[in-house]
Structure 1
Amino acid sequence: MRLKNMTLGDINFQRKYGFYYIYFILIVFYGFIIYILPSDWRKPATAIMIYSDPAAMGMFFMGAIVLLEKSENVLNSIAISPVKTEEYILSKIISLGIISVITALILGAIAGLTNYFEIAISVFLCSSFFTLLGLLVASKVSSLNQFTIATVPFEIICFLPPIIAMFWFDSCLFTIHPGTACINLIIQTGNIYLNIGVILIWFLLLWKIVVKSVKKMINSVGGIKL
Structure 2
Amino acid sequence: MKGLSLLIFDLRFQWRHGFYFVYVFVCFCYWILLRFIPEIYKETTAIALTFSDPAALGLIMAGGMVLLERDQGVHDPLFVTPAHIRDYLLAKAGSLSVLSLAAGWAIHAASGSLPQSPLAFSAGIVLTSTFMTLLSIGVAARHRTINGFILMVQVYALPFVLPLLGYFHLWHTDLFLLLPTEGTLRLLGSPSGGLSVNHLLYSAFILLIWNSAAYIWAHRSYSRHVLMRIGEGGDGNGKI
Scaled to the shorter chain, the TM-score interval is over 0.9
Which residue does the alignment assign to 1:134?
136
2:101·2:125 contact (CA, 8 Å) conserved in 1?
yes
Q: How many angstroms apart in 2 are the aligned matches of 1:41 and 1:139? A: 39
Which residue does the alignment assign to 1:218?
227
Which residue does the alignment assign to 1:68?
68
Runs of 4+ with >4 A deviation: none
2:46·2:108 contact (CA, 8 Å) conserved in 1?
yes
Structure 1 residue matching 2:142: 3-state secondary structure: coil
Structure 2 residue matching 1:170: 3-state secondary structure: coil
Which residue does the alignment assign to 1:45?
45
Q: CA deviation at 1:36?
A: 2.6
Q: How many angstroms apart in 2 are the aligned matches of 1:212 and 1:6? A: 19
1:208 paired to 2:225: no
Matches within 5 A, 1:19-34: 19-34=19-34
Residues 173-210 of structure 1, C-alpha deviations (whole Å, 9 max, x = no match): 21221112111111116612211111111111121111
Which residue does the alignment assign to 2:205?
197
**Gap change, CA 1:148 and 1:55, over 3 Å in 2:** closer
The alignment yields a C-alpha RMSD, in angstroms, of 1.6
Q: CA deviation at 1:108?
A: 1.5
Residues 137-160 of structure 1, C-alpha deviations (whole Å, 9 max, x = no match): 11000010111111121232122x
Residues 70-94 of structure 1, C-alpha deviations (whole Å, 9 max, x = no match): 1111111122110100000000001
Aligned length: 222
Identity of aligned residues (%): 23
1:55·1:130 contact (CA, 8 Å) conserved in 2?
yes
Greater CA radius of gyration, 1 or 2?
2
Letter in 2 for 1:220: R
Q: How many angstroms apart in 2 are the aligned matches of 1:16 and 1:81? A: 23
1:104·1:119 contact (CA, 8 Å) conserved in 2?
no
Q: How many angstroms apart in 2 are the aligned matches of 1:42 and 1:117? A: 21
Which residue does the alignment assign to 2:8?
8
**Gap change, CA 1:148 and 1:212, over 3 Å in 2:** same
Q: How many angstroms apart in 1 are the aligned matches of 2:180 and 2:40? A: 25
Which residue does the alignment assign to 2:146?
144
Q: How many angstroms apart in 2 are the aligned matches of 1:118 and 1:86? A: 26
Structure 2 residue matching 1:82: 3-state secondary structure: coil
Which residue does the alignment assign to 1:153?
155
Letter in 1 for 2:105: L
- Normalising by the residue count of structure 1, what TM-score does the alignment of the two structures yield? 0.92
